[in-house]
Amino acid sequence: MSFLRHICLTLFLLSGGIMAVGPAQAAPAQDLAGQLEAVLKQHPEIIINVLKDHSEEMLDIVQQGSDKRRRAVLLRQWETEINEPKTVALEGRPVGGPDNAPVTIIAFSDFLCTYCHQAAYTVGNLMKRYPGKIRLVFKQVPKTQAGRIAGEWFIAAYQIDKTKAWKMYALTFDRQKQVEEDAVTAMRAIAAEVGFDAKAVEAAVKSKARELDAMMAGDAADANALGFVGTPYFLVNNMVLRGALPMENFIDAVDMALKNTAKK
C-alpha cells in the first residue's frame, strides 16, 4: 500500500468510517474536519507510526518537492542572468567541443574535488546529448598543491596534444586518490598511459611555470570577482550553476541557452 493511501485509510478508520455514510447522512465538511483534527490530537502516535513505517516514501516526497522548488528558483534566476554578460579570461584555457558551438560552458573546477568529478561526468554526458552544440572551457581553482600540480600537467599536456590531454583529464578525475597521495608520480603515470612522453610533459610544466602560475591566478581572480566560493561552478552562456547539480538542471540551462541564441 502506498504512503498516501495508508494515511487516508488511517484517517478513515480513526474517524469511525464517518466518510462512508450516504449523502443524506454525511456530516458537513467543517464538522468532518473538526472530528479528524480531534482524533489526531488524541492519537498522534498513529500518524507518527505511519510516517516511520513509510519513512523512505516520505523522504522521496520531500526530495521531489525540494527538486521542484530548486528548479523553479534556478529558471527564474537564469532568465535574468542569461542577458547579463560575464567577462572571464579564456585565453590558453583547455577547450573541448567546436569553437562555434552556440552554448559555452565555462567550468571552475579542481581535479581533487569530489563534486567536481561528479560534475565533470555530468557535463561529459551533456556534451554527448547535444553533439556539436556545446563548447567546454576548463578553468581551475585548486585548493591544494596536489590539485595545482594536476592542473598544471593538464594545461601543459593540452598545449602539446589536445586529444590526448582530454583523455588525461578524465583519468586524473578518476584517480583522485593517487594524485592526492603523490601528484607528480600519478601524473607521470597518467600522461604515459594516454600516450604522452611523460618526461616531455614534465619538462613543459617546469619551463612554463610562470605562464601556468599566471593562468591559475587569473582563474582564481575571475572566480572571486563572480562571488564563486569553492568548486565546482559553471557559466552556461552567462547563467550560473553551482555545485554538482543533476543532469536535469544542466539540460534546462542548455535548452534555455539554445532558445535564447535562436532569438538573436
pLDDT along the chain (264 residues), means of 10: 56 51 52 71 73 61 61 93 95 97 98 98 98 98 98 98 98 98 98 98 98 97 97 98 96 97 81
Please tell me the distance from the alpha carbon of residue 10 to that of residue 160, in angstroms, as a whole number: 69
Same domain for 178 and 248, yes or no, is: yes
| Domain, as residue range, for 5 | 1-53
Same domain for 16 and 96, yes or no, is: no
Task: Supply the pLDDT for residue 20.
Answer: 47
Same domain for 104 and 166, yes or no, is: yes
Task: Supply the pLDDT for residue 102.
Answer: 97
Same domain for 242 and 139, yes or no, is: yes
63 within some domain: no
Task: Supply the pLDDT for residue 245.
Answer: 95
Task: Supply the pLDDT for residue 24.
Answer: 47
20 within some domain: yes
Nearest to 202 by CA among 218, 219, 183: 183
Task: Supply the pLDDT for residue 21.
Answer: 44
Same domain for 217 and 127, yes or no, is: yes
Q: Which residue bears the cell 563534486? A: 115
Same domain for 257 and 189, yes or no, is: yes
Q: Answer whether 231's CB lies under 8 Å from 115's CB.
A: yes
